[in-house]
Amino acid sequence: MRPPNGLAMWPADALAFFLGFLRDPVGVGSVIPSSRYLERRIVDAVGAASARVIVELGPGTGGTTRALLDAMPADARLVCIEIDPKFADHVARLGDPRLIVRCCSAEHIGDVLAEHNLPAPDTVVSGIPFSTMPADVGQLIARRVHDVLPPGGSFVAYQFKSAVAGFAAPVFGNHDLSVYEWRNIPPMRLWRWRRS
């Protein structure tokens, strides 16, 4: 469900996101959530309308999560992996039966999928700030994402900085999509890689 009266986000979501930034500015990476414009780009890049399983890394307060759920089929599953317990609780309150929320690090993506007996995801979408994490962690997450995807599966990342490309390119090769969403505040770049 979208916010009323043309609001970009629910006021409670904006406040929760801001408080999350104050708790951990390095881990959150932004003072405000993604815009509707960026959410639309993500939904399109992910192919949410025909996906069976999507994994979202770092859903924050769930703006992108809602957009994905709005676009996904009724029998699809969305797995959200969020390291911040308050954000994880916030997203879990969406209450959609297609939604699975786990509070853990993104490197455990394979374990979470196995725990819920889910097949390989069509796509993994990530808003986690790769630019602020140690290089070994970024490399491990990129490798774990690659390993859970089937051939043709995609990894979509939206970031302010290009650090994610340095981690993903050695694992996935060249990206097949790289666009800026200038209407986001601040502007955000979106990449997509596919597992060959």
Which parts of the chain register pLDDT below 70? 1-33
User: What distances in angstroms separate CA 22 from CA 15, 64, 104, 149, one per listed residue?
Assistant: 11, 20, 20, 34
- pLDDT number for residue 32: 54
Q: Which domains does the chain have, with CATH numbers?
A: 11-194 (3.40.50.150)
- pLDDT number for residue 77: 98
- pLDDT number for residue 186: 85
- pLDDT number for residue 89: 96
Alpha helices (H) in the chain, listed in sequence order: 11-23, 25-28, 36-46, 63-71, 85-92, 109-115, 135-148, 163-172
